[in-house]
Chain A
Amino acid sequence: MTREKIIELVNSIFIEQFELEREELTPDKKIFEDLGLDSLDIVDLITGLQRKFKIPLRENEEIRQIETLADIYSLFEKLATENPDIAAKIIN
């Protein structure tokens, strides 16, 4: 359930902020090569993720390693597992 909710929330950022179509957002999609984001767009993505999940990410080293959409989903799944407060925010 939580992973599905995470996928829905992450994808909503790409749909609302980046005006991508839902059909384009498959887990294997590479953020830079396939979706065409560049380094400036990543700043907007992180800002969007922070707002959506209400958690700070600027100091998070793992966010800088992401390459695919699946990496983003897995990162938030990990954050939710390690921190019940974050899990509660995601569920709500």
Chain B
Amino acid sequence: MKRITPTLFIYLSMAFWTIIYCSIAMVVYLIALVSPKRLSGHIMRYVILYYGQTMIHIAIRPFISVKYEDQAAGDKRPGIYIFNHRSASDPFLMSIFGIEAIQVVNGWPMRLPFFGHFARSCEYIDSTKIDYEAVKEHIASLVSRGVSIMAFPEGTRSDGRVMNKFHSGIFKLAMDTKTLIYPCAIVGNEYLPDRKFRFPKCGKIVIRRLKAIETAEIEKCPTAYALKNRIRNIIQAETEKMDKDDNHENLL
């Protein structure tokens, strides 16, 4: 007998709550459309934030719990958040932090019919665009306005619990803009969903924000490569500890 998985229920729930949320947020969205660019971006980022929170805390909650652990003592300074990247659900999980933020995306999300529009409106960064000085200026501007940057320097989802090598770009930007870095670890979502976007079972995802790497420490790194490896090692050690602590089942 074929095992029933929660895949259909999760997508139905997400679709249902997306319709509800869009109906409620429509007025705010229309206000954002006619507002000046900076105000529009600010409003849209909160629209996205609350949409993400609706998905995490309501839509998927019966099937997947998302737990946030903060080891940065509630540090509210804007910064660059660096994550390991196991799953397609990672970008949706960013709303767990409850802060105004943008994401660094790998090109294609900016071209999606629905999400791409919001990504562009929120001033997301397209990592495939190579105007370094413009991106550097953009990050400095965002951070000065209290907006944080969420980045997945592996560039693409890894396979299961493996962590791929990091690209150096965001670390060079952190050094050049003198922005602090929050290393963050996400576990439990390696098959939520799997590479075919199915949910084999229900589960628990844990996101842990670690203590900030201050700019003084960042400046001591001789190159962006050295910085990226230090951060990668920190996140690798944390994910290994978290995987052991929670005894995540290997679903495949």
Measured CB to CB, the residues of A under 8 A from B are 16-19, 36-38, 40-41, 44
Pick the most buried of A18, A40, A44: most chain B CB atoms within 10 A of its CB: A40
- When the two chains form their complex, are residues A17 and B222 in contact, meaning their CB atoms are under 8 A apart? yes
B181 within 8 A of A: no
- When the two chains form their complex, are residues B223 and A18 in contact, meaning their CB atoms are under 8 A apart? yes
0 or 1 for each of B113-139: is its CB under 8 Å from A? (1 = yes):
000000000000000000000000000
Q: Size class of B's contact patch?
A: 10 to 19
- When the two chains form their complex, are residues A19 and B224 in contact, meaning their CB atoms are under 8 A apart? no
- When the two chains form their complex, are residues B172 and A40 in contact, meaning their CB atoms are under 8 A apart? yes
B42 within 8 A of A: no
- Chain A residues within an 8 Å CB radius of B107: none
- Chain A residues within an 8 Å CB radius of B168: 37-38, 40-41
Q: List 20 A-B contacts (CB under 8 A).
A: A17-B222, A17-B223, A17-B225, A18-B223, A19-B222, A19-B225, A19-B226, A36-B166, A36-B229, A37-B225, A38-B167, A38-B168, A38-B169, A40-B167, A40-B168, A40-B169, A41-B223, A41-B224, A41-B225, A44-B223
Measured CB to CB, the residues of B under 8 A from A are 165-169, 172, 222-226, 229-230
A contact face: mostly helix, strand, loop, or mixed: loop
Residue of A nearest to B230 (CB): A19
Among B165, B224, B226, B229, point to the contact of A40 (Cβ < 8 A): B224
